């Protein structure tokens, strides 16, 4: 669109789609495991930083109603890297990250979990999440950071 900054000459942007709260591991489109396979979850992504990209993103924030502001950073990225656009996002393998993780995801070998340790969707994962919280706090306490 002519009211946006020029697109970067090159870019790298990849992530994972928004998951259903209840999903299989590994998730699949056939299993209906994504709420919308074309909608990026901004909780985990890979990008190549560039001033050109920053300028492009910044112009998008100044255009009223260009993207839904409900989840501002996520919807900005979904607009900028929409699949039908000129800079579509690439899908990472879900072995790298799962939103709404379950014990099945964890035992399946997923590398990182996108979850709130204080209010997990799957309560059976709470002891695992809290154990990592206490490790983190213990580490910082030992360094004098807490």
d(CA 121, CA 126): 9
Mutual angle of helices 51-61 and 72-80, in 10-degree steps = 110
d(CA 67, CA 75): 6
78: left (phi over 0), alpha (psi -120 to 50) or beta: alpha
Give pTM, 2 decimals: 0.90
- Give the residue-averaged pLDDT of 56-73: 96
pLDDT digits (tens, 9 = 90+) for 73-106: 999 999 999 999 999 999 999 999 999 999 999 9
**pLDDT of 146:** 62
């Amino acid at each position: 669109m002519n009211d946006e900054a020029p697109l970067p000459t090159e870019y790298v942007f990849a992530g994972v789609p928004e998951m259903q709260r209840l999903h299989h591991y590994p998730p699949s489109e056939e299993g209906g495991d994504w709420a919308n396979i074309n909608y990026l979850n901004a909780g985990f992504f890979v990008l190549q930083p560039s001033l050109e990209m920053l300028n492009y993103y910044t112009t998008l924030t100044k255009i009223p109603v260009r993207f839904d502001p409900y989840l501002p950073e996520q919807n900005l990225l979904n607009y900028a890297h929409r699949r039908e656009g000129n800079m579509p996002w690439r899908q990472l393998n879900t072995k790298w990250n799962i939103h709404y993780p379950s014990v099945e995801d964890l035992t399946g070998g997923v590398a990182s979990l996108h979850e709130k340790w204080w209010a997990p969707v799957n309560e059976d994962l709470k002891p695992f999440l809290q154990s990592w919280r206490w490790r983190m706090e213990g580490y910082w306490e030992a360094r004098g950071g807490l």
